Structure 1
Amino acid sequence: MSDLLFFPMSMPDEMLHSRITRYHFLSGNRTAAETFRDLFGSAPFSVGILPKQIEVLATRLPGDTESNLDDLISTNTMFPAYRPFLGLGQGVENAPTGSSISGVARIPRREAAVHGKAKLCYTCVQQDLLETGYAYWHRSHHLPGVSVCWRHGESLMHACPKCSHPFFRKLRLLPNPTDPCICGWSALDPATGKQGTVLEKTFAEFAYELLQRNLPPMSCETLAASYVRQCRKRGFIHGKFVGTAKLFDSIRSKYGDEALSRMDKAYEAGKHDQWIRFSFYNGQMDMPLARHMIIAQHLFGGADDFEAALHKELILRHAAGAKLRLKLERPKVGRKAQHRQKIATILAVRANVDLEYLWDNAYQATRWLAEHDNAWLMGKLSTPKRLPEVVEEVSDLRDSAYAAILLSGAENLYRISKGQKRVNLNNLQKLLPVRLPRCPKLRKRRFPLASQQAELLMESVWHFRLRRLIFALANMKRLNLPMNTGSLGMVSSVPNTVFQALVSFFEWDLEDFARNGVDAETLLKSTGLPRNWQGPPGFNQVLGGTAYYRNKSVAEST
């Protein structure tokens, strides 16, 4: 029997983390650990989209556990906004809307990174205090892609505007929105919040309406079909196919690069290829929630039209599935046609085929034709085969120019500077107007000079580590830091083992560097190392990163 005496009633559009925080203040608990023990019977954990111990809280609340669970999910979490876009797992096609909590397992792990901030609307704090007597945190403010308040159009804050102190701290309760910050700033101070754009407010309204509707889960086929059907109505087509490029350009021209970068992290990182993907894998479309809502709002305009389109698509799919699909019987092919087709196929794909080869590799067909259709068989064998014309492939006319671009551009890449990158094939290709073919064989045939130049310019991992360490030493001198591994972590992410190995190998006098400074380019040239240097001899320690190391065989270890 639980000793949970009360749990505060939910405010309109309140997130569960905010409700837990209000319980903490009202219960008089001193620490967050006590509050989480009361509600969940566990130590503090990240609340996230759907708390992992939400079933425990539903059990401790008065009433039916299943009803409590459905009410918590639909009222206080952002999961209802995710549900229609997550697809359907096996065996849940006919599951009730509220009782299916298993859909949370289909939320991609990348979505968890979206909820690392607590967002606040300046005017909402004051308005909630007047209307309900308590200021709280709204779940609609935390939907992916939403940057303004849907009611007031103000830009959402995730930190104190005066001292940048963050509202959200991992494994901590949320602060009371009306409490002053450590610097003295308060959301109750008279001020005017920064207004967002009209498009941002329209998108926030669409996301809010979608969250409130609590739509049932949709299969990826239904969701994709509704997108495709609306694209055809709006003219986003390319021949017989959906014009995703036209749809992307339309969204980009509507919102602009700055707004889309705030709404979608992949767009901000410059990953525009395949930004819109209507294909699906394992019953789910591979797009984050923010992108789904951007596309849905752009195609349908409002939540009413979007919901109506989904229901219409469901009706069409059920009607199509109810019809009996008649299997067309394959036309029966005679024995003569079958044997002729087999022999004709062999003669088409192989050169210098004779009767002996056919007896060895197609005995049944050869025997039947020799007995019943020998004239056709002998005629096929006597017909001379037309040799295919060999067309000599000519290298691309831009090959020499691309090779010159790589040679000149690589010198800038090899310079020791802030943000330097390893000179590999990917970074070399970024110097060219058009990337070379991905296939190595095709790349060498069409661009032999550029491919050869790229291979000569390749930089080894250890040479890149050497350049990074030299730049780190120069920064230590510039900032008057001691030249040791303790200062290394402040100016670079080069591992300490690399620092020790290279300083020992080159016998560098760090005290001399501290006194006289470090000329980075001169120091690099003084090493006399080629750009494909494989590191200090005998150094076989495994370093961190994504590289793979070959394990020693049993014979080597013994």
Structure 2
Amino acid sequence: MMNFIPQIYSDELLYSVLARYKRMCGMVSRRAFLKDVYGESKMLTSIFFPQYLESLRENMPPYSKITVNELIWNHTMFPFYTAFLSKERSDSIHSMMVDGCGKSIENILGFSGGKVKPYSRLRYCSKCYSEDIEEYGESFWRRLFQVPGVLYCPKHGVSLKSTIVPSTEKYADYWCADSDMCSADVEDDTYDEQIKELNLQYIWNVIFLMNSAYKKKELSDVVHFYIDRLRERRLASAKGFIRIQDFVDEFLRFYPADYLNLMQSNVDLNQQANWLRLFVRNNAKNRSPLRHLLVLQFLGVSADEFFHEQSATGKITARVNHTPSFDLEQRRKAWLKIIEENPGLNRSQLKEIGKGLHTWIYKHDREWYDQVTPRVRKRKKRSPVIDWAKRDEECLALAKQAVESILNREGKPIRVLPATIRQEIGVRRWFDNRKLGRTRQFIQQVTEDINSYRIRKIKWAISELESEGVSLTVYKIQLRAGFGGDNKEIAKLISRIVDIGHLSP
């Protein structure tokens, strides 16, 4: 059971709270930490969608009044990613987070197959980091900065910076937002004013989704709302049929191409079924909340207005009951003849041969059609067998190159870890496959413990100061290495590394 709960900051990810708790307790073993927090060491953990939160709540100290619902709504990414889902689907994901489901919720939400991906590394604002250190003596990971498409800090108006902390791994370790991961250096904005203005408006809509209570809408109601707004702008007919090309053209005039690329929502005009054309159709495809907000912003509607508008018309259609006027038996014989004369063809090919006949029978005699029309499926080609010994040799060479590159890189040293090695190569967790034995062994051997990394940073800082002709002091070395000037443990370590008896403290 947990002995205490750290102060939980506004908009702080639950992952960040647990990371700070782990550091405060001085825990090294991830297994022991999970057992302390959840009462079980084998847990499917996630930065964005943690599970088994009821177990976590039961392991908190008795004096803690925080509820599971508060954790989910205020300290996970649940409110953003479920904003445009139906109440039924949202409640299902909520239950998975409370009780656990043994599956990745990210995959259930379509992260792996979707075109809009979450940021692969945790992000932060350098000015927020400095203010946190001054006010609290520590910083933390904010939810808002991890939302895809959020390029700026709305408080300070500066662009966000990325760290080496992976955000989408199933068995993520717990990293604090400290000087090893973040810095207070302020970078100049890399985007022009139009992009900044568009993005800040997007961010305010994200903040509404993350922090407000509103009634859920079904997908059909969402599409009907879009059709109504498009009708108002004469981008849809009076009956609600969308003038799709006009819609696409107007959308691309509203958003610069560079901005859509940053938002992972480039519209390919050469692709007949691009995401924007499909987005306003009533189909069951996954839609990223980022793209919902892009469409709403284009329509001049805030997220607040969208969720408080409950009435929508959508398409206006007149239903007519059609009665077949053809002889059924005659049509059946004609279709059977096509099947007989074209053995081995699948349904799509048969449809091309007898287009009008196929349409009539499919509509008016569907049960018979399914009974007599063959389904010809081509066997999928088997994937070639992987030569794991060869792949291991290739991966080992890549890992060695990555380590050499990390160690020889100019500027402040980066810690040699499995995550930084993968990042340097540009690969994901598959690189840790157990069949890559030599590669795994090499990575384990070269992984730096925290003390070795600190020593390397201190030596780098001393070398930098000496090359600049700056007189050495403990304080200057600490600052240059990025540890801050009031860390007594680091000051002692510096004293052991270099003879600085003649230096002022």
Normalised by the length of structure 1, the TM-score is 0.49
Aligned letter for 1:31? S
Correspondence list, 1:314-325, <5 A:
none
For the Cα contact (< 8 Å) 1:231–1:299, is it kept in 2? yes
TM superposition shift of 1:69? 1.2
1:502 aligned residue? none
2:9 aligned residue? 11
Aligned equivalents of 2:24 and 2:187: distance in 1? 29
> Residue 125 in 1 paired to residue 129 in 2?
yes
State which of 33, 36, 48 in structure 2 corresponds to 1:35.
Answer: 33
Correspondence list, 1:23-422, <5 A:
23-40=21-38, 41-43=40-42, 45-61=44-60, 68-89=67-88, 107-110=109-112, 114-159=118-163, 165=164, 170=169, 171-180=171-180, 187-189=183-185, 192=188, 194=190, 197-238=196-237, 240=239, 241-264=241-264, 273-276=273-276, 277-281=279-283, 284-309=284-309, 311-313=310-312, 345-346=326-327
TM superposition shift of 1:485? 7.9
Aligned equivalents of 2:121 and 2:79: distance in 1? 20
Q: Cα distance 1:7–1:86, how it changes in 2: closer, same or farther (>3 A)?
A: same
Q: Cα distance 1:237–1:64, how it changes in 2: closer, same or farther (>3 A)?
A: farther
TM superposition shift of 1:252? 2.5
Q: Which runs of 5+ in 1 are unaligned?
A: 160-164, 318-327, 331-340, 351-437, 444-460, 466-483, 493-558
TM superposition shift of 1:286? 2.7
For the Cα contact (< 8 Å) 2:49–2:78, is it kept in 1? yes
Q: Cα distance 1:190–1:16, how it changes in 2: closer, same or farther (>3 A)?
A: same
Q: Cα distance 1:268–1:134, how it changes in 2: closer, same or farther (>3 A)?
A: farther
TM superposition shift of 1:239? 6.4
TM superposition shift of 1:142? 1.1
For the Cα contact (< 8 Å) 1:21–1:175, is it kept in 2? yes
Aligned letter for 1:278? V
Aligned letter for 1:247? F
Q: Cα distance 1:209–1:237, how it changes in 2: closer, same or farther (>3 A)?
A: same
TM superposition shift of 1:261? 1.8
Secondary structure of residue in 2 paired with 1:250: helix
Aligned equivalents of 2:197 and 2:90: distance in 1? 42
Aligned equivalents of 1:85 and 1:197: distance in 2? 25
Aligned equivalents of 1:91 and 1:71: distance in 2? 15
Aligned equivalents of 1:268 and 1:145: distance in 2? 19
State which drifts further: 171-180 or 228-237.
171-180
Aligned equivalents of 1:149 and 1:213: distance in 2? 19
For the Cα contact (< 8 Å) 1:86–1:285, is it kept in 2? no
Aligned equivalents of 1:88 and 1:61: distance in 2? 29
For the Cα contact (< 8 Å) 2:54–2:68, is it kept in 1? yes
TM superposition shift of 1:166? 5.1
Q: Which runs of 5+ in 2 are unaligned?
A: 332-347, 354-379, 385-389, 399-505
Aligned letter for 2:175? P
Aligned equivalents of 1:442 and 1:347: distance in 2? 21
Q: Cα distance 1:259–1:191, how it changes in 2: closer, same or farther (>3 A)?
A: closer
Greater relative contact order (CA < 8 Å, ≥ 6 in sequence): 2
Normalised by the length of structure 2, the TM-score is 0.53
TM superposition shift of 1:125? 0.9
For the Cα contact (< 8 Å) 1:121–1:149, is it kept in 2? yes
Aligned equivalents of 2:119 and 2:269: distance in 1? 18
Deviations 1:20-73 (A, max 9, x none): 111112222123333222112224644143112222112223579997110001
Q: Cα distance 1:28–1:156, how it changes in 2: closer, same or farther (>3 A)?
A: same
Aligned letter for 1:251? F
Aligned equivalents of 1:44 and 1:81: distance in 2? 24
Aligned equivalents of 1:347 and 1:26: distance in 2? 79
Q: Cα distance 1:192–1:33, how it changes in 2: closer, same or farther (>3 A)?
A: farther
Aligned letter for 2:41? S
Deviations 1:428-477 (A, max 9, x none): xxxxxxxxxx979979xxxxxxxxxxxxxxxxx99xx9xxxxxxxxxxxx
Aligned equivalents of 1:279 and 1:65: distance in 2? 47
Q: Cα distance 1:155–1:245, how it changes in 2: closer, same or farther (>3 A)?
A: farther
Deviations 1:529-550 (A, max 9, x none): xxxxxxxxxxxxxxxxxxxxxx
Secondary structure of residue in 2 paired with 1:118: strand
For the Cα contact (< 8 Å) 2:236–2:242, is it kept in 1? yes
Q: Cα distance 1:68–1:49, how it changes in 2: closer, same or farther (>3 A)?
A: same
TM superposition shift of 1:229? 1.8
Q: Cα distance 1:206–1:130, how it changes in 2: closer, same or farther (>3 A)?
A: farther
For the Cα contact (< 8 Å) 2:165–2:175, is it kept in 1? no
Secondary structure of residue in 1 paired with 2:31: helix
Aligned equivalents of 2:130 and 2:183: distance in 1? 8
1:372 aligned residue? none
Q: Cα distance 1:347–1:489, how it changes in 2: closer, same or farther (>3 A)?
A: closer
**% identical equivalent positions:** 19
Secondary structure of residue in 2 paired with 1:153: coil
Aligned equivalents of 2:65 and 2:82: distance in 1? 18
Aligned equivalents of 1:156 and 1:269: distance in 2? 31
Deviations 1:98-138 (A, max 9, x none): 99999x69622436952532111222211233344431111
TM superposition shift of 1:288? 1.8
Q: Cα distance 1:156–1:293, how it changes in 2: closer, same or farther (>3 A)?
A: same
Q: Cα distance 1:173–1:125, how it changes in 2: closer, same or farther (>3 A)?
A: farther
Aligned equivalents of 2:235 and 2:83: distance in 1? 23
Q: Cα distance 1:194–1:92, how it changes in 2: closer, same or farther (>3 A)?
A: closer
Q: Cα distance 1:63–1:253, how it changes in 2: closer, same or farther (>3 A)?
A: farther
Q: Cα distance 1:485–1:18, how it changes in 2: closer, same or farther (>3 A)?
A: closer
Deviations 1:309-334 (A, max 9, x none): 2x455xx99xxxxxxxxxx9x9xxxx
TM superposition shift of 1:140? 0.7
For the Cα contact (< 8 Å) 1:4–1:38, is it kept in 2? yes
Correspondence list, 1:437-452, <5 A:
none
Aligned equivalents of 1:127 and 1:200: distance in 2? 23
TM superposition shift of 1:152? 2.6
For the Cα contact (< 8 Å) 2:227–2:236, is it kept in 1? no
Aligned residues: 329
Q: Cα distance 1:64–1:229, how it changes in 2: closer, same or farther (>3 A)?
A: farther
Aligned letter for 1:29? M
For the Cα contact (< 8 Å) 1:119–1:142, is it kept in 2? yes
For the Cα contact (< 8 Å) 1:121–1:156, is it kept in 2? yes
Aligned letter for 1:187? S
Q: Which has the larger radius of gyration?
A: 1
